[in-house]
Structure 1
């Protein structure tokens, strides 16, 4: 999937250049001190940020006086208690926090009690279809009849929503509902002046699947139908990525580009929201 993510990032930037140039300009204005990444044992969101050309700083312990406006907390099996408290306080004051998989039980439950929790069961190593809400951050890259495929690492933590009035489901999966009675794939909620976004499993997916003939088609089918790129834009993506239309299939491109689009949109929204916040007095 490394190649898929490399090409996916090129495609996301091309989509923004064609369809939302102001958003691309916002992305390119992000400074390294505005985005921090807490390294994890399993997920690697920093690889996606690098491919999107978004600068960031690795901060394993969440630097006490960090000016970051957005913090990514990668999936891990444990987190420093000082890190949890520092980031909780930062979110309270307006920072956005984005986390994945095991951060649900090991981080979010402690930092933001009463919102979401680990369902208590774990997944297998599997890939599920995802249905994004119409106003989700994924809405610009959805293909009707060909749901995005989301990889769950063995022992991923299904999401239990404790406060449905305050927690918004960004995307869901019927397969997760049937198997684990926990359909949410991505959720978000406000906390204090800040915001929290969490996904089950990882942003850096290790594989996809091809449940339909559409998913087995060439990657250019997704670039056209999913990302709605122009013919010239598709040619640019193929050239910059150094690939042919059939080097990657529809599903591989869809999985990588969907995850990458999500990261890009979160960065744009988080930094923009923080820059428009009233100054503290």
Structure 2
């Protein structure tokens, strides 16, 4: 067995050399690794899903890393970690578990059910081994009071959810801990399971998972309502006035109500997730401050 102090010096030197080399030869990779510590949102790139494209639209900053880089980064418990489908991370599973246990927020999509959640958090949810087709299903809101769904699906109509070819249906293993936010009777009749969006807590943190891809590729225009102009959705369901929508007239001509509803739902949804995590982080910080103040007052 070697001397620990000797090796400690070697590791410290190696870190300094790597810092110099990466900043010179791989500046973009270097900035990614440095920025992770400052960012509130960390996204693991996927070959099938691209949550980051929605965040670009709503101008939410994030750090994008490749799955092969995941084991190199540091995570903080005040961050949101988004793992795009397929979730092909091969190293760092313990890091994900620790991140959530300490208060981090994990958001995963589609194949990450099998590749991440089953491996890191066994016993909660599972892939039922019945992949979907390229399909669209009507969905029902199970818990309208949940903060993640605030401002979504205000009408009595059933929204349509797009399923990517070979999406993974969610089988719930722990019905006590796992909450279904959005379900689909049509999904169950076709593919054996009805959950579409689920959430559960582990330690101080939260996991949110959804079937199919977050960045929608298409919408299913099933009825007359879906085929009407997006302006109807903006006015009737979002409550926007003519003055508020006058700059969107050219856009309304290109988008149907069904398309607008699907896109708005996903956009608002990710906004809600980020807002909720920021609130939780602030609450935890305030509790720590109060605990410290109470401790000082009792001295």
TM-score interval for Structure 1 and Structure 2 normalised by the shorter chain: 0.7 to 0.9
Q: CA deviation at 1:69?
A: 1.1
Q: Is the 8 A contact 1:64 1:86 kept in 2?
A: no
Gaps of 5+ in 1: 1-30
Structure 1 match to 2:183: 172
Aligned-pair CA distance for 1:279: 3.8
Q: Structure 2: how far apart are the matches of 1:47 and 1:112?
A: 27
Deviation readout 1:200-226 (Å, 9 max, x if unpaired): 001101000111100000001111233
- In structure 2, the CA distance between the partners of 1:244 and 1:73, relative to structure 1 (3 Å rule), is closer
- Superposition pairs for residues 1-281 of structure 1, below 5 Å? 33-60=39-66, 61-62=69-70, 63-67=72-76, 69-76=79-86, 78-82=88-92, 84-133=93-142, 134-136=144-146, 137-236=148-247, 238=248, 243-277=250-284, 278-279=287-288
Task: Select the structure with the greater relative contact order (CA < 8 A; seq sep ≥ 6).
Answer: 1
Residue 140 of structure 1: how far off its partner (Å): 1.7
RMSD: 2.0
Distance in 2 separating the partners of 1:225 and 1:139: 17
Change (3 A) 1:225 1:142: farther
CA contact (8 A) 2:110 2:212 kept: yes
State the distance in 2 between where 1:118 and 1:101 align: 9
Q: CA deviation at 1:113?
A: 1.1
Moved over 4 A (4+): none
Which segments of 5 or more consecutive residues in structure 2 lack a partner in the other structure?
Answer: 1-36, 293-299
Distance 2:116 2:157 in 1: 33
> Partners of 2:49 and 2:216 in 1: how far apart?
8
Scaled by the length of structure 2, what TM-score is found?
0.77
In 2, Cα distance between equivalents of 1:172 and 1:35:
27
Indicate if the aligned counterparts of 1:32 and 1:56 stay in contact, CA closer than 8 A.
no
Deviations 1:216-274 (A, max 9, x none): 000011112332223322224x16xxx24231000110111101111000010012212
SS at match of 2:225: coil
Alpha-carbon distance between aligned partners in 1 of 2:79 and 2:154, rounded to the nearest angstrom: 32
**TM-score (norm. length: structure 1):** 0.82
Contact 1:70 1:271 in 2 (8 A): no
Larger radius of gyration: 2
CA contact (8 A) 1:150 1:205 kept: no
For residues 139 and 225 of structure 1, what CA distance do their matches in structure 2 show?
A: 17
Q: What is the CA–CA distance in structure 1 between the aligned matches of 2:273 and 2:41, rounded to whole Å? A: 11
For residues 278 and 106 of structure 2, what CA distance do their matches in structure 1 show? 11
> What is the DSSP-based 3-state SS (H/G/I as helix, E as strand, rest coil) of the residue aligned with 1:36?
strand
Q: Distance in 1 between matches of 2:111 and 2:190?
A: 19
Higher alpha-carbon deviation: 225-234 or 211-220: 225-234
Residue of structure 2 equivalent to 1:7:
none
Cα deviation for residue 181 of structure 1 reads 2.1
